[in-house]
Chains A and B, each alone.
Chain A
Amino acid sequence: MTIERIAASYRDRKGYVFTSGDRILRSIAGTAADVQRDFLASKVYERLVASGRLIGTRIAPEDPAALGIEAAALLLEHERVPFISYPYEWPFAALRSAALLHLDLHRELLEHGYTLSDASAYNIQFRGAAPVFIDILSVERYVEGAYWNGHRQFCDQFLSPLLLSARFGVPYHAAYRGRLEGLSSTELVPLLRLRDKLSLQTVLNIVLPARLESAARRGRVHVRGAGSRRPLPRSSLRGMLAGLRRLIGRLSLPLRDTDWTSYAAENTYRETERAAKREFVARAIRAAAPRAVLDLGCNTGEYSAAALEAGAGYVVGAEADPVAANLAFLRAERERLAFLPIVQDAANPSPSQGWREAERASFTSRARFDFLTALAFEHHLAIGRNVPLDELVRWMVALAPRGVIEFVQKTDSTVRKMLSLREDIFADYTEENFRNLLTANARLVESLIVSQEGRILFQYDRRE
């Protein structure tokens, strides 16, 4: 079996992660192997895995040399997660939940003589709405008096983006995606108003470090090397973690209606029509019994939940509006669904990027779905974003071998509203053309008109 090193696994020289077929393996070199062996045998490891907060890990049975891994003192095998997602795709509540997991994990590890070497948000993944820590190599032995080396990274990758959204209602996703490492405190500080700075935790974690950093740059203060620093007592470190937990636990998105949040309540469907739509989706899901479903334009996750109820194994929702995606995440959390909504604009999906343009995988390369639902979605691309209908249909059908796509007529009140201020340049936007394009790409299984305005659901299958 050929092994393939994960492109993002290069920072920590103590080891790296690679795949071998379906397996996720980790090679660890040197003395870090002893720490990991002890940790894997510890009660705290057992408890963290049992509660779902840490990824399940075992010592791989084979000899590292047999796989051609040089200098491996220890070979570990990790459990897989259903879908890899990145912090710049997470709705607000997901990033907050990941931040709290990081702090809780660190606090619990400290009680047992361990600590975390970094605070990368990419070390956390989701199973449904439940965050899980996947980078076991970050766990190190705690040395009394040691500083929290990951503090700045924690603030950049968790706290600053959360504060930006919570205090100003500005989504962090585009900026986070652009720079990958989060938002720096030095850039956030000039934005903060006096009332934002009345919080001790904001001052301690954002304002003060930024001020001291610029003072150090100008040579006004000097930072001591790791060997000559005053030790930071464990209780102070615990206090820092607890303070951040208090601050982040209280953050929430400012209440604000977007076009989408009220959509589920006010959309043009009548209740009977919505029930017909749900039943059509449920029937198609029951027949296909898909393991992984992609719900394009999932909004607050109403039909994702319906798909799960009909037997889908796991649903990833893609939603361009961060506020609607956040509500969908809260739904997944509340109802404990195997559903992960991510913030994703179909006209500009996450690219492959980072070091060698391979560190963070593109959305499409991660899209291994058995079933697609795209309900009340296509017109936002075809009309709203001018995407040619033939390209759109081809793209959607390529995302999953089977699925349900809803077509919205040009006479529909939503489309009429979209066209009210602009010229109608969409001569080919017709039900007939849509149907032809779909049959050119897949077999048409069934169709059903589900609204008085003629919205129509198409079920396709392209497996032959």
Chain B
Amino acid sequence: MAGRVALAVFALSLVLSTPAYAYLDPGTGSILVQGILAGIAVVSAAVAAFWSRIRRLFTRRESRDRRTPENGGDAPHP
């Protein structure tokens, strides 16, 4: 699951990356740090996607458990 999301993000990244050559030399260290930040963004996007899947799994189950009369469940006993 997480692997699939990461793969999707990676594929997206290939589509999105454009050569951005500047007249200014951006500096090796600065580019490497931004690469790390970009990596962190990919990982956190994957983690966020994974968690939202899990949360959805639970919320679906929870909503099934907490059915109210309006949505077809039994009225709670007094």
| A residues whose Cβ falls under 8 Å from a Cβ of B | 11-14, 117-118, 143-153, 155, 185-186, 204-205, 208-213, 216-217, 221, 223-233, 235-236, 239-240
**Interchain Cβ contacts under 8 Å between A and B, 5 examples:** A204-B33, A208-B36, A224-B35, A226-B20, A240-B37
Q: Tell me the complex Cα distance, A24–B3, Å.
A: 56
The residue that A149 contacts in the complex, of B22, B36, B38, with Cβ under 8 A, is B22
Contact A208–B33 (Cβ < 8 Å)? yes
Residues 30-74 of chain B, each 1 if its beta carbon lies under 8 Å from chain A, else 0: 111111111111100100000000000000000000000000000
Complex contacts, A152 vs chain B, CB 8 Å = 25-27, 29-30
Closest CB in chain B relative to A212 CB, distance in Å = 4
Complex contacts, B39 vs chain A, CB 8 Å = 230
Q: Tell me the complex Cα distance, A216–B35, Å.
A: 13
Q: Tell me the complex Cα distance, A149–B21, Å.
A: 9
Q: Tell me the complex Cα distance, A227–B38, Å.
A: 14
Complex contacts, A186 vs chain B, CB 8 Å = 29
Complex contacts, A150 vs chain B, CB 8 Å = 24, 26
Q: Across the interface, name the chain B residue whose C-beta is closest to A147.
A: B34
Q: Tell me the complex Cα distance, A145–B17, Å.
A: 6
Contact A145–B24 (Cβ < 8 Å)? no
Contact B26–A232 (Cβ < 8 Å)? no
Contact A229–B22 (Cβ < 8 Å)? no
Q: Tell me the complex Cα distance, A13–B19, Å.
A: 18
Interface majority SS on B: helix, strand, loop or mixed? helix
Q: Across the interface, name the chain A residue whose C-beta is closest to B39.
A: A230
Q: Which of B11-25 contact A (CB under 8 A)?
A: 13, 16-25
| B residues whose Cβ falls under 8 Å from a Cβ of A | 13, 16-42, 45
Complex contacts, B26 vs chain A, CB 8 Å = 147-152
Q: Across the interface, name the chain B residue whose C-beta is closest to A14.
A: B23
Q: Tell me the complex Cα distance, A151–B35, Å.
A: 13
Q: Tell me the complex Cα distance, A63–B23, Å.
A: 28
Q: Across the interface, name the chain B residue whose C-beta is closest to A221.
A: B32
For the A-B complex with A118-B22, A145-B16 known, give 8 more contacts whose Cβ atoms are closer than 8 Å.
A117-B22, A145-B13, A145-B17, A149-B24, A151-B34, A208-B33, A223-B35, A233-B41
Complex contacts, A226 vs chain B, CB 8 Å = 19-21
User: Which of B24, B29, B30, B34 is most buried by chain A, counting CB atoms within 10 A of its CB?
Assistant: B29
CB-CB nearest 7 A-B residue pairs: A209-B29, A152-B27, A213-B29, A152-B30, A149-B22, A212-B32, A230-B38
Complex contacts, B24 vs chain A, CB 8 Å = 11, 117-118, 149-150, 153
Closest CB in chain A relative to B60 CB, distance in Å = 29
Contact A13–B23 (Cβ < 8 Å)? yes
Q: A224-B35, A230-B13, A232-B37 are in contact. Are A209 and B18 (CB under 8 A)?
A: no
User: Which of A13, A149, A227, A240 is most buried by chain B, counting CB atoms within 10 A of its CB?
Assistant: A149
The residue that A235 contacts in the complex, of B25, B30, B41, with Cβ under 8 A, is B41
Q: Across the interface, name the chain B residue whose C-beta is closest to A224.
A: B35
